[in-house]
């Protein structure tokens, strides 16, 4: 995809079209033959998956038709639709099992995330992993908006994206994974003092310890496996 075309996509779909190297780094570096990217956007994260696992078959799910068209070149198969659509989950059942599933900033956009996560967990191969990324509503920005400004923040992207249907803090995410039949294997966090300003990472670092850690974390990334499954050593 040309640089100008990528810039145009970012302008129209801010927050939905960019690559997520932080998520891909949680995937194993070898042993992946089938990977599912849920909410694959324009396919930029799928391109990173291909760089990491050149021989993997990559399947994507994306509800936005225009983004999906740009993703096709990075995918072996593309399903256009919502992940909470039973028809989409049925099509994925025919593609399963997957060695890895990426579900980055998707579950907050569905009305009932638990059955979706359960369905994805059931589509994992033995020893396979599922990587989630979810925004942390406990971030300092929520307290500033509610406590100081007296209003719920509704924005175009990020933690308070106006299209979010569900909101999570760390304990909510861990509970969701457990209820879905998943077992936590790794956790990473993206921190900023001001979520919308990358430079505020520098300001957040000195506060990145308990009890302030939850207030400067704007995204939690987790790698899960199916509970009681064969983890392959």
Q: Is the pLDDT of residue 153 over 80?
A: yes
Q: Which pLDDT value is given to residue 228?
A: 81
Cα–Cα distance, 220 to 133 (Å, whole number): 6
Report whether 68 contacts 78 (CB < 8 A): yes
Cα–Cα distance, 232 to 125 (Å, whole number): 11
* Burial (CB count <10 Å: 0-12, 13-18, 19+), residue 167: middle
Q: Which pLDDT value is given to residue 29?
A: 85
- Two tokens at 218? 């704007």
Cα–Cα distance, 48 to 65 (Å, whole number): 21
Residue 233: pLDDT band (50, 70, 90) is very low
Q: Is the pLDDT of residue 3 over 50?
A: no
Residues 16-58: pLDDT tens digits?
558 999 999 999 988 899 999 999 999 999 999 999 988 899 9
Q: Which pLDDT value is given to residue 54?
A: 86
Cα–Cα distance, 201 to 131 (Å, whole number): 23
Q: Which pLDDT value is given to residue 17?
A: 58
Residues 89-143: pLDDT tens digits?
999 999 999 999 999 999 999 999 999 999 999 999 999 999 999 999 999 999 9
Q: Which pLDDT value is given to residue 232?
A: 45
Check whether domain 3-135+167-189+220-226 has CATH 3.40.109.10, yes or no: no
Report whether 220 contacts 173 (CB < 8 A): yes
Residues 167-207: pLDDT tens digits?
999 999 999 999 999 999 999 999 999 998 999 999 999 99
Query: Taking the C-alpha atoms of 111, 130, 43 and 14 in order, what is their torsion angle to the nearest 10 degrees?
Result: 50
What is the DSSP track for 166-210? Answer: --B-HHHHHHHHHHTTEEEEEEEEEE-SSTT-GGGHHHHGGG-ST
Q: Which pLDDT value is given to residue 81?
A: 97
String of b and e for 151-163 (b: at least 16 CB within 10 Å)?
eebeeebbbbbee
Cα–Cα distance, 169 to 137 (Å, whole number): 6
String of b and e for 120-144 (b: at least 16 CB within 10 Å)?
bbebbbeebbbbbbbbbbbbbbbee
Q: Which pLDDT value is given to residue 115?
A: 98
Q: Which pLDDT value is given to residue 46?
A: 96
Q: What sign does the dihedral 24-25-26-32 (CA atoms) show?
A: positive
Q: Which pLDDT value is given to residue 30?
A: 86
The runs of H, that is alpha helices, within 13-132 are 21-24, 44-52, 65-71, 86-95, 113-122
Residue 229: pLDDT band (50, 70, 90) is low
* Burial (CB count <10 Å: 0-12, 13-18, 19+), residue 225: buried
Residue 220: pLDDT band (50, 70, 90) is very high
**Which sequence spans correspond to the domains of the chain?**
3-135+167-189+220-226
Q: Which pLDDT value is given to residue 53?
A: 87
């Amino acid at each position: 995809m040309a640089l100008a075309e990528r810039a145009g996509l970012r302008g129209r779909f801010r927050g939905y079209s960019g690559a997520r190297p932080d998520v891909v780094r949680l995937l194993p570096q070898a042993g992946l033959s089938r990977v599912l990217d849920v909410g694959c956007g324009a396919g930029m994260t799928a391109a990173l998956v291909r760089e990491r696992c050149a021989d993997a078959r990559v399947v994507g799910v994306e509800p936005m038709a225009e983004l999906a068209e740009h993703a096709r070149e990075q995918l072996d198969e593309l399903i256009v639709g919502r992940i909470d659509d039973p028809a989409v989950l049925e099509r994925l059942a025919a593609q399963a099992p997957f060695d890895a599933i990426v579900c980055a900033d998707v579950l907050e956009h569905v009305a009932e995330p638990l059955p979706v996560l359960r369905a994805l967990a059931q589509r994992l191969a033995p020893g396979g992993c599922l990587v989630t990324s979810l925004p942390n509503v406990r971030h300092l920005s929520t307290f500033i908006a509610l406590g100081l400004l007296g209003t719920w923040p509704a924005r175009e992207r990020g933690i308070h994206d106006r299209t979010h249907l569900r909101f999570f803090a760390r304990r909510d995410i861990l509970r969701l994974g457990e209820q879905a039949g998943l077992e936590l294997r790794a956790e990473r966090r993206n921190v900023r003092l001001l979520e919308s300003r990358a430079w505020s990472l520098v300001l957040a670092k000195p506060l990145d310890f308990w009890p302030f850690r939850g207030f400067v974390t704007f995204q939690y990334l987790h790698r899960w496996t199916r509970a009681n499954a064969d983890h392959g050593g």
